[in-house]
Each structure stands twice: as structure tokens, then as C-alpha cells.
């Protein structure tokens, strides 16, 4: 395989794509989605966080909590746990006379959010008792709902990666529609080099798109290293998108039709994995998009074990399908 031929094919795809207005929109679409997500998120600078509370607190603590947070008062600790488990980004606080208060959270909230109620309580107690610091116990609970902010963002990152896959895919379709493939088939460029150029371009675009989206939404606090690792799990799904679009569409209009049908089908397992019960997910586990979304969410949650497991399974479930699609594409292009 000739590296120079691969680089030349990549340059040709980029030159042709950047000259096409429609393909330029493909590149900037993930950034537009990220900006829209950021604007629509229910997080407004200066807004009070919501806290669910129960138990015994000093009057000064209650006053400060109600001044600096939206406080939902419930009857007991069990009710606090139930609310925290059932609502995303809701922090629980439980106080008991003579004991350290508890801050109860799910773990997918920003660190500043889950530490805020403890900070408020500590500040008041320190003021009352002449600077004495109060110990606060943190308790992490598992959410009842599979959906969280990290799952929403995982789907956004997956969509961003798949959207930019359309850039080299549409370049392939353009080669078919313009008749350029007839010349390429008899040129020194091999089928492996032609496809490798598109694969490398996909990897680069998907990485830049997903990390750029994370930067817009999360800022410098985004776990870029973990997201880059999770991006490997997205590659089988992205490559499958390219291969199927290139094999099934011989013009731009057909490509749009294939995309409208194929993109929802590819995203369906990823979305379903965040909504259905663990027992029902057994039907999704053979599908690589499911593992791609799970890996991205694990990266956002800082769950290294789940990230590694999802990464391995995404490759095991996706690469055989990619290999079959690659053979199908070669036959469709009639490349010997």
C-alpha cells in the first residue's frame, strides 16, 4: 500500500469537499448542534441550584440554603434518596442532630454542583462556631433513570462523529456520479488505498468534531483523553456509515435518501440503550452503535472500567460487519 497515493487521495477529497457548499455544511453542522445544545441546556449562569432536603438543620443553615438554593423539603432521608435517584442533577441533603450532614448525589453532576450544598452548610457552621469546619459526608447513589445529562451529551457526540462521516462518504458518491471512478479503477491507485484515504479522513474528522463539540459544551473541564479513547469505539459505526452510503447511493439524491433512513437506524440502538431496562438491552449488545454510546457516556462519567469494556465490545461487534460491508462496497464499485 503506497502512503503517497493515500495522502494524495485524501487531499483530493478535501479539495473537492471544501469546494462544495453542501459538504462544508456537513463539517460545521456538529458545531451548530453543540452551540444549540449549550443554549438550550437548563443551566443559566447565576441561577440557583435545586436541592432536596430533609432532617434537622440549624435555623441559620436553613436560611442560607433557602437563600442560595431552590430547596425542596421532604419528610425523611428515604424521600431524599428517591428524589435524587429519579431526577437528574438534583442534589440531596440530609441532616441529623449530633451527626455530620450527608450530601447525596448520583455522580454525573458537575463537581461544583454536588459540592455546593456542603459548602453552604460548612460556611454557616464555621461562622457560628468561630471558624470551626464541619465534616460533610458524601454518598453516591445509582439513578433510577438511565437518562442523564451525560447520556444526552454522549448521543450528541456520537451524532457529531457520524455527521462528519458524510464528508468523505459524499466525496465517494461524487466520484461515482461524476464518472471519476472509471478513471480511478484503471489508475495505479488500489481499492485498499482509495478506502484507506477515506478511513483516515474519517478518523481525523470524527476526532476533531467530537472533541470540538465537547469543548463548546463543557469547556476546558471536558475529559478530552477519555473522549479520545471513546472515539475509537465510534469508528466501526462511522466506517459502516461510509461503506453503506458509498455502496447504496450512486448520486447525491440517493445519498440523501439513504442517509435519512440509515442514520436513524444506526442511532436507534444507541438511544435505546439509555432508556430500556438492563434485561432488554441484551438484544442491543450485538450492535456496535450501542457500545459506542456506552463508551462515550462512560468517558463523560469518568468510569474507566465501563469505557474499556465498551471499547472492546464495540470493536468485536463492529469490525466483522465493517469487513462484510467493505466487500459489498468493492463489488458495488466493480473495483478489481
pLDDT of 233 reads: 92
Same domain, 134 and 234: no
Same domain, 182 and 127: no
Residue 76's H or E segment, with its range, is: none
Distance CA 209, CA 142 (A): 31
- Confidence band of 333 (pLDDT split at 50, 70, 90): confident
Sign of CA dihedral 73, 149, 115, 215: negative
Residues 202-217 as b or e (16 or more Cβ within 10 Å = b):
bbebbbbbbbebbbbb
Q: Is residue 247 included in any domain, yes or no? A: yes
Q: What is the pLDDT of residues 223-261, one digit of tens each?
A: 888 999 998 999 998 888 888 888 888 887 888 888 888
Same domain, 215 and 118: no
Domain around 230: 3-40+147-333
- In 3D, which of 113, 137, 129, 139 has the Cα closest to residue 61? 129
pLDDT of 290 reads: 93
Average pLDDT over residues 33-57: 71
Q: What is the pLDDT of residues 162-210, one digit of tens each?
A: 888 888 888 888 888 888 878 877 778 888 888 888 888 888 888 888 8
Average pLDDT over residues 120-132: 75
- In 3D, which of 64, 114, 108, 124 has the Cα closest to residue 93? 114
Higher pLDDT, 302 or 156: 156
List Cβ neighbours of 271 (8 Å cut-off, separation of 6 or more). 155, 293
Same domain, 212 and 259: yes
User: Given 140, 156, 174, which residue is the final one in a domain?
Assistant: 140
Distance CA 65, CA 196 (A): 58
Does residue 31 have a pLDDT over 70?
A: yes
Does residue 134 have a pLDDT over 80?
A: no
- Number of domains composing the chain: 2
Does residue 44 have a pLDDT over 70?
A: no
Residue 69's H or E segment, with its range, is: none
Higher pLDDT, 133 or 311: 311
> The whole model's pTM is what?
0.69
Question: Residue 109 has what DSSP assignment?
Answer: S
Higher pLDDT, 9 or 79: 79
Same domain, 185 and 311: yes
Distance CA 16, CA 174 (A): 9
Q: What is the pLDDT of residues 315-328, one digit of tens each?
A: 999 999 999 988 88
Return the residue matching grid coordinates 463539540: 213
SS3 of residue 121 by DSSP: helix
Does residue 273 have a pLDDT over 70?
A: yes
pLDDT of 132 reads: 59
Q: Is residue 116 included in any domain, yes or no? A: yes
Neighbours of 101 (CB within 10 A): 22
Least confident of 30-34, 78-82, 310-314: 30-34
Q: What is the pLDDT of residues 92-113, one digit of tens each?
A: 899 877 677 888 887 767 777 7
Distance CA 315, CA 233 (A): 6
Same domain, 232 and 156: yes
Does residue 291 have a pLDDT over 90?
A: yes
pLDDT of 43 reads: 45
- Confidence band of 135 (pLDDT split at 50, 70, 90): low
pLDDT of 40 reads: 64
Neighbours of 286 (CB within 10 A): 13
Neighbours of 264 (CB within 10 A): 10
Q: In what order do the strands lie in the sheet with 137-140?
A: 70-73, 50-55, 91-95, 102-105, 137-140
Q: Is residue 45 included in any domain, yes or no? A: no
279: region left, alpha or beta (phi > 0 left; psi from -120 to 50 alpha): alpha
Contact call for residues 333 and 194 (beta carbons, < 8 A): no
Same domain, 127 and 72: yes
DSSP string, 245-306: HHHH-SSHHHHHHHHHHHHHHHHHHHHHTTTS-TTGGGGTTTSHHHHHHHHHHHHHHT-HHH
User: Given 91, 122, 140, which residue is the final one in a domain?
Assistant: 140
Contact call for residues 232 and 257 (beta carbons, < 8 A): no
Same domain, 188 and 74: no
Whole-number mean pLDDT of the chain?
81
pLDDT of 88 reads: 67
Enter the C-alpha cell of residue 151.
447520556
Contact call for residues 296 and 229 (beta carbons, < 8 A): no
Question: Residue 54 has what DSSP assignment?
Answer: E
Average pLDDT over residues 154-163: 87
Distance CA 67, CA 129 (A): 20
pLDDT of 47 reads: 60
- Confidence band of 133 (pLDDT split at 50, 70, 90): low
Amino acid at each position: 500500500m503506497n502512503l503517497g497515493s493515500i495522502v494524495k487521495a485524501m487531499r483530493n477529497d478535501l479539495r473537492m469537499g471544501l469546494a462544495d457548499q453542501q459538504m462544508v455544511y456537513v463539517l460545521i453542522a456538529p458545531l451548530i448542534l453543540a452551540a444549540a445544545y449549550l443554549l438550550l441546556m437548563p443551566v443559566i449562569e447565576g441561577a440557583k441550584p435545586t436541592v432536596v432536603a430533609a432532617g434537622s438543620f440549624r435555623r441559620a443553615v436553613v436560611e442560607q440554603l433557602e437563600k442560595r438554593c431552590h430547596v425542596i423539603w421532604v419528610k425523611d432521608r428515604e424521600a431524599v434518596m428517591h428524589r435524587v435517584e429519579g431526577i437528574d442533577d438534583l442534589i440531596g441533603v440530609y441532616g441529623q442532630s449530633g451527626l455530620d450532614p450527608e450530601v447525596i448525589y448520583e455522580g454525573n453532576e458537575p463537581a461544583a454542583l454536588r459540592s455546593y450544598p456542603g459548602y453552604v452548610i460548612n460556611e454557616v457552621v464555621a461562622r457560628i462556631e468561630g471558624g470551626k469546619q464541619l465534616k460533610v459526608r458524601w454518598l453516591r447513589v445509582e439513578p433510577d433513570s438511565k437518562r442523564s445529562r451525560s447520556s444526552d451529551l454522549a448521543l450528541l457526540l456520537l451524532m457529531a462523529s457520524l455527521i462528519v462521516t458524510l464528508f468523505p462518504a459524499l466525496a465517494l458518491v461524487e466520484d461515482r456520479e461524476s464518472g471519476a471512478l472509471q478513471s480511478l479503477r484503471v489508475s495505479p491507485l488500489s481499492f485498499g488505498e482509495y478506502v484507506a484515504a477515506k478511513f483516515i479522513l474519517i478518523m481525523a474528522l470524527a476526532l476533531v468534531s467530537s472533541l470540538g463539540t465537547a469543548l463548546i459544551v463543557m469547556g476546558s473541564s471536558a475529559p478530552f483523553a477519555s473522549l479520545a479513547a471513546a472515539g475509537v469505539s465510534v469508528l466501526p459505526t462511522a466506517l459502516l456509515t461510509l461503506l453503506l452510503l458509498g455502496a447504496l447511493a450512486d448520486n447525491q439524491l440517493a445519498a440523501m435518501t439513504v442517509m435519512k433512513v440509515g442514520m436513524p437506524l444506526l442511532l436507534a440502538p444507541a438511544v435505546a440503550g439509555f432508556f430500556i431496562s438492563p434485561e432488554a438491552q441484551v438484544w442491543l449488545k450485538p450492535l456496535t452503535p450501542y457500545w459506542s454510546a456506552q463508551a462515550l457516556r462512560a468517558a463523560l462519567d469518568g468510569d474507566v472500567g465501563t469505557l474499556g469494556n465498551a471499547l472492546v465490545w464495540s470493536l468485536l461487534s463492529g469490525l466483522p460487519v465493517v469487513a462484510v460491508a467493505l466487500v459489498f462496497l468493492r463489488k458495488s464499485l466493480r473495483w478489481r
